[in-house]
Structure 1
Amino acid sequence: MDPSVFANIENLVTLSDTQFTLGSLILMVSYGAHFAFILYFLWTQKDLAPRYRLVPLLSALVMASAGLSLLREFSFWNEAYTFSGGAYVPATEGQTFTNAFRYGNWTITVPLLLTQLPLAFGLARPEIRRRAIRMSIPAVLMIWTGLVGQFGETGDWAQLNLWGVISTLFFVWLLIEVRATIKAGVVNSPAPLKGFPDKLWWYFLATWGLYPIAYALPQLGFNGEVVIARQLLFSIADLSTKLVYGVILSRYLLRRSALGGYLPAAEALGEAPAVADKPRGA
């Protein structure tokens, strides 16, 4: 099989029954979790002060977009293999597997995720727009250059690594912009919550750092272990940077709303008696 015909290593590797099932399960759990949490974010936004409700609504949009993309990946996975001789063999004709849809989805969801930061920190509207744009530009460039590089993962390591380095440079630029937004968040957070933005910064580094590892994995070899490990890393990264990240922001905003005297938020936290005497709809 000529590697140059295929974009991703999944189309070159024969999987055992266990590996194929694990791959299906990883993708199924990923898209299922994203779809399920659409309802979570739509429900929890009602307890937040009105100015913060856009943040979980954006999380719901991210869940829907990511869920649809992962559902398509799941379909590709199941259509791209044929069971033969006790193993799952990549199809030589018709449907092939591709991770490119992940990159397309990231182009949509990553700017939304980044915009949530200045919104959650309660920055002024002009500052929200400015910081969202400054973070989104390097983020999109990082994704697109990574997309170009991943087409070399079937053996063109020069392409994979060159564009991987370029993508990493944009990632560093993104980190600089995110750090600046985090610092603004520290300044603009209520006193009891001033430690939150820095904790979120370390979480950001730990979870977003999984993507370049998954990107580089094909160089370890064309085998089932690498294929499954990469799908697992991609899915853990997607769940942690989108779903868990959204939950963390929602909890922060619930606390922030309660501290601001918004009664439904305080009631959701069980702290209503300690809240200032602001009206329920403040």
Structure 2
Amino acid sequence: MENMENLFSYSSVQYDIINHVLVLGVGAMMSGLAYFIMTIKDSSPRYRLTSVISSVVMVSAALILFNQQQSWQHAFAWDGNKWNPSATTFSNGFRYVNWSIDVPMLLTQLLIVLGVSGAAFRRRWVGLVVAGILMIYTGYVGQFYETTDITKLLIWGAISTVFMIYICYIVGISIAETNVSMPPKAARLAKALFWLLVVAWTLYPIAYLIPWLSPTPNGMVARQILYTIADITSKVIYGVMLGQLATRLSAAEGYEPARESMKSVIYGRD
């Protein structure tokens, strides 16, 4: 996959920004991993799987972003003035490999924390996972055309976005249905989680469209920044908020370690 990043030469500033942003992504994922391991016992056993899943997501994302950062370093050579393309190519395709692992897990842990169970869980899980995989791989196909046929990039991107909207709709319904039985502060956190997901996931199609919106070196810098911000938001921050929701629900159900944990946070007790 020859992404548009490989068509340009970059100034020292442009090259370094992308390199540093990718390192930031790796650091954020490793920090998230440490957090999820340390807080795993704050939630009752019925919710604890969410911290385990978040930890797996962190490892998966960190490995891919590290691969991206190393690939970026080998894809360009310094000539004393600019960073020029080398014989090695940089590919965003590895991000799609990562998303195909992480998106199903992120959606699964949401259903677990929301307490969706039985036939409803199976139905929603299948719908979300299938839509998630289709969202990722239709976008993946479009990436192959970004340097040769921008119309096909836009068509496949539009198809991918339809699946994204469907996922957000199902997530919204699931949160709305379970909100009525949650304590007020937990319900507000669940709503905030939904809007975080919508905003973070919207960054992905914007980054996807950069080859159409801004086919320039600065555009490529913006794309890597957007992708990495979206990854950090939709994985690390999302996972932290979901873990906090699990802790709040555990406390409301009388789980003592969760009650103790809630005493130490700045927003007080439920």
Shift of 1:192: 4.3
Shift of 1:180: 2.1
Match of 1:72 in 2: 67
The question of 1:225 aligning with 2:225 is answered: no
Aligned mates of 1:215, 1:178 — CA distance in 2: 23
What is the one-letter code of the residue matched to 1:63?
M
Shift of 1:187: 3.3
Aligned mates of 2:214, 2:36 — CA distance in 1: 40
1:109-120 alignment to 2 at 5 Å? Answer: 109-120=102-113
Match of 1:279 in 2: none
Match for residue 39 of structure 2 among 39, 44, 64: 44
Of the structure 1 ranges 197-206 and 28-37, higher mean CA displacement relative to structure 2 is found in 197-206
The question of 1:101 aligning with 2:65 is answered: no
Match for residue 214 of structure 1 among 192, 207, 213: 207
Aligned mates of 2:104, 2:115 — CA distance in 1: 18
The question of 1:234 aligning with 2:227 is answered: yes
Deviations 1:33-84 (A, max 9, x none): 1022212101101111111100011000000001001111011100000101
Match for residue 160 of structure 2 among 164, 167, 172: 167
Deviations 1:168-189 (A, max 9, x none): 1222222222222222321342
Match for residue 86 of structure 1 among 81, 89, 94: 81
Aligned mates of 2:115, 2:259 — CA distance in 1: 18
Match of 1:278 in 2: none
Aligned mates of 2:34, 2:185 — CA distance in 1: 29
In structure 2, the residue corresponding to 1:195 is in which secondary structure? helix
Segments of 5+ residues of structure 1 without an aligned counterpart are 1-5, 276-282
What is the one-letter code of the residue matched to 1:202?
W
Aligned mates of 2:157, 2:11 — CA distance in 1: 30
Match for residue 144 of structure 2 among 134, 137, 151: 151
What is the one-letter code of the residue matched to 1:242?
K
Aligned mates of 1:214, 1:221 — CA distance in 2: 10
Match of 1:26 in 2: 21
Aligned mates of 1:176, 1:254 — CA distance in 2: 25
Aligned mates of 1:152, 1:13 — CA distance in 2: 17
Aligned mates of 1:268, 1:68 — CA distance in 2: 31
Alpha-carbon contact 1:103-1:147 (below 8 Å) kept: yes
Q: Across the two proteins, how many residue pairs are aligned to each other?
A: 266
Match of 1:141 in 2: 134
Identity %: 39
Deviations 1:166-215 (A, max 9, x none): 11122222222222222232134235423332222222211110000000
Match of 1:56 in 2: 51
Alpha-carbon contact 1:26-1:232 (below 8 Å) kept: yes
- Note closer, same or farther for the CA distance 1:220–1:124 as it changes in structure 2 (3 Å cut): closer
| TM-score with structure 2 setting the length | 0.93
Alpha-carbon contact 1:7-1:154 (below 8 Å) kept: yes
Larger Rg: 1
CA-based RMSD: 1.7
